[in-house]
Amino acid sequence: MEVNDIMQILEKDMKVAVFATVDEDGKPHARHAHIGVANEQGVFFMTSPTTDFYKQLKHNPNIAITTMSEEGYLVQVIRIEGKVRQVGKDRLQELLANNPYVEQVYPDDDIRQGMQVFHLYEGEGFYHSMSQGHKYVFSIGHEEETDA
């Protein structure tokens, strides 16, 4: 399985992941967030500068993302640990358009336009089809991909 195949599963089939960060005191935090775009370049997502999530990302760029889907007998898990960087408003309109929850979470258009985009640009990932036994380790920002 290619990295782009795994990233398409993440974006199109799973859509929402748990993002884990740490605060300035080293305490862990986790929250669900929408996967805006996922491809061979990494994962793009957004948050408001008024959130603790934003503050934690700015303080420490190391994050972990995990998600799972279950459809009939097919159970898939994707985990990625890596580094993020803020890319400002780059890709914001694309992320807003692809997010079915944005109007409920951020009902005010001014707030939506103030969102900031982050890019998980470097990291290591793991894909596991729990029902089929397939396991793949992959890199973002690197060239190699291997079977686990």
Query: pLDDT digit string (tens) for 34-93?
Result: 998 999 999 999 899 999 999 999 999 999 999 999 888 888 999 999 999 999 777 887
- Per cent of the chain over pLDDT 70 is 95
Least Cα distance to 18 among 77, 75, 106, 74 occurs for 77
Using the predicted structure, report yes or no on whether residue 32 has a pLDDT greater than 60: yes
* Cβ pair 142, 121 in contact under 8 A: no
This prediction has a pTM of 0.87
Cα–Cα distance for residue pair 148/145, rounded to 1 Å: 10
